[in-house]
Chain A
Amino acid sequence: MFYLSPDEWIAVQLSLRIAIVATLTALPFGIAVAWLLARKDFWGKALVDGLVHLPLVLPPVVTGYLLLITFGRKGLVGGFLENFGIVFSFRWTGAALACGIMGFPLLVRAIRLSFESIDRKLEDAASTLGANRLRVFLTVTLPLALPGIIAGMVLCFAKALGEFGATITFVSNIPGETQTLSAAIYSFMQVPRGEDAAARLVVVAIIIALAALIVSEWLARRAGTRFHGE
């Protein structure tokens, strides 16, 4: 019979919570940045594009280090936020921040592509029918971009679930607080007789990843038939 010890359960739950919070928090920013990059020309656009994609190409440990010196308690942003009781370092919220930033480029890429593939003429049609720019965005642009938004969220979620380097560098590997699935598997493999626990968590990781894929496929198909079916 397959069962998880309480410690393993906590790591799984923590991972899911971190990945979900990271994805949902990144989503509005991802949509905004994707829209800016897809639709607007502004000074410094290449720089913004580069910054967004940086976590994709930097070694994760470097991203974690940069997060630590920026969002750590003595960091520029971290020190400021601490005045408001917001602390990232060595907390699960910090893990969510690291995962969100690591997944952000994947989220933005997918949404940006779907914004770019939308027929702008439909937006023109909406404006002649009396919709202001915000309403055009909410009733035409956003719904038509839905398949790309779903795809981006799944990629971001998967990245967040599997994130290791940046998280462990930024918030360490504290069981029950910042020890995610990946970190727990790594830790179990370092101790004698930890292989069984590691193997169980590996199975859980595979199940979660598969479930995410199936759900996204189902959602994308549903969105697809809404556009093309009767």
Chain B
Amino acid sequence: MLSVDVEKKLGDFSLAASFETAGDVTALFGPSGAGKTTLVNMIAGLVTPDRGRIVLDDAVLFDSATGINIPAHRRRIGYVFQEGRLFPHMTVARNLDYGHRMNGLPFDAAEANRVIDMLDIRSLLERRPGKLSGGERQRIAVGRALLTRPRLLLLDEPLASLDAKRKSEILPYLEKLRDEARVPMVYVSHTPSEIRRIATSVVWLDGGRVTAVRGVAFLDTMRAIDS
């Protein structure tokens, strides 16, 4: 259960968004510049809202009224960025292991193996990110976030930097993630076809405002736009 009610002014742009979601995979949908990434960054703790409240399950992550602002590194929220952001100076294995080393979580070999197999990245473990394809990088970014045992997984346009062929390669992994990992997700995208495959509910953001919160079937009405 994620509950967000935040306001932030950034120059000429103002974001004032409020929504609640209990779905498995909530899509944040809207055109470029709608404030999707800013909103996700607030949930992750990378951007501080001017005012508002963010609650995940029973934990208050941010509350301007009581001065609560849990720092990003203590939120236990996994974040898959648009560009992967793998650490270039570490092998894939070290990248995957990073969260566990920083959190001091006990190492769970079975969990690690399960994630590595699910994402099909075992053959890449000794490589360095510089030599990987975009799709491989994104799969490792997903694995790296997942292995921190997050309470919530944020995916910010994880397919946007990939070409159509790579996209169709990654989508099945994301579906597997939804069906197997049992971690609630917020999936940012401006592509209805992606959202229809992945998401269970949709929060529509436009011009910094939430304009609709619906089931995913709602997107069928805009099939024409997508094609």
Q: Which A positions have Cβ atoms within 8 angstroms of B?
A: 119, 121-122, 124-133, 135-136, 139-140, 143-144, 226-230
Contacts and interface: CB of A to CB of B under 8 A. Distances in A.
Given A125-B79, A143-B89, A227-B88, A130 B148 contact: yes
A226 B72 contact: no
Given A122-B85, A229-B130, A130 B46 contact: no
Interface of B: 44-46, 71-79, 81, 83, 85, 87-89, 98-99, 102-103, 126-128, 130-131, 144-145, 148
Nearest to B82: A121
Given A130-B102, A140-B87, A230 B128 contact: yes
A130 B150 CA distance: 10
Given A121-B85, A140-B87, A129 B99 contact: yes
Contacts of B45: 127-128
Contact of B89 (A121, A128, A227): A227
Contacts of B87: 122, 125-126, 140
A125 B131 contact: no
A128 B79 contact: yes
Contact of A124 (B46, B75, B102, B103): B46
Given A125-B81, A128-B72, 10 more contacts: A125-B79, A126-B98, A127-B71, A129-B102, A129-B144, A129-B145, A131-B102, A132-B71, A139-B102, A230-B126
B173 to A, nearest CB: 20
Contacts of A143: 89
Contact of B130 (A122, A126, A140, A227): A227
Contacts of B74: 130
Contact of B44 (A121, A126, A128, A230): A128
A136 B79 CA distance: 16
A131 B83 contact: no
A128 B98 contact: no
Nearest to A143: B89
A139 B103 CA distance: 13
A207 B145 CA distance: 50
A126 B128 CA distance: 17
Looking at A129, A136, A143, the one whose CB has the most chain B CB atoms below 10 A away is A129
Nearest to A129: B99
A179 B45 CA distance: 57
Contact of A128 (B78, B88, B130, B131): B78
B89 A226 contact: yes
A144 B102 contact: no
B72 A127 contact: yes
Most buried by B among A128, A133, A227: A128
Nearest to B131: A230
A125 B75 CA distance: 13
The 8 closest A-B pairs by CB, nearest first: A130-B103, A125-B85, A129-B99, A131-B102, A128-B79, A130-B102, A228-B130, A127-B72
Contact of B99 (A130, A132, A140, A226): A130
Contacts of B83: 121
Contacts of B75: 128
Contacts of B85: 119, 121-122, 124-125
Contacts of A129: 73, 98-99, 102-103, 144-145, 148
28 contacts: A119-B85, A121-B81, A125-B79, A125-B81, A125-B85, A125-B87, A126-B98, A128-B75, A128-B77, A128-B78, A129-B98, A129-B144, A129-B145, A129-B148, A130-B76, A130-B148, A131-B73, A131-B102, A132-B102, A133-B73, A136-B73, A139-B102, A144-B88, A226-B89, A227-B88, A227-B89, A228-B88, A230-B131
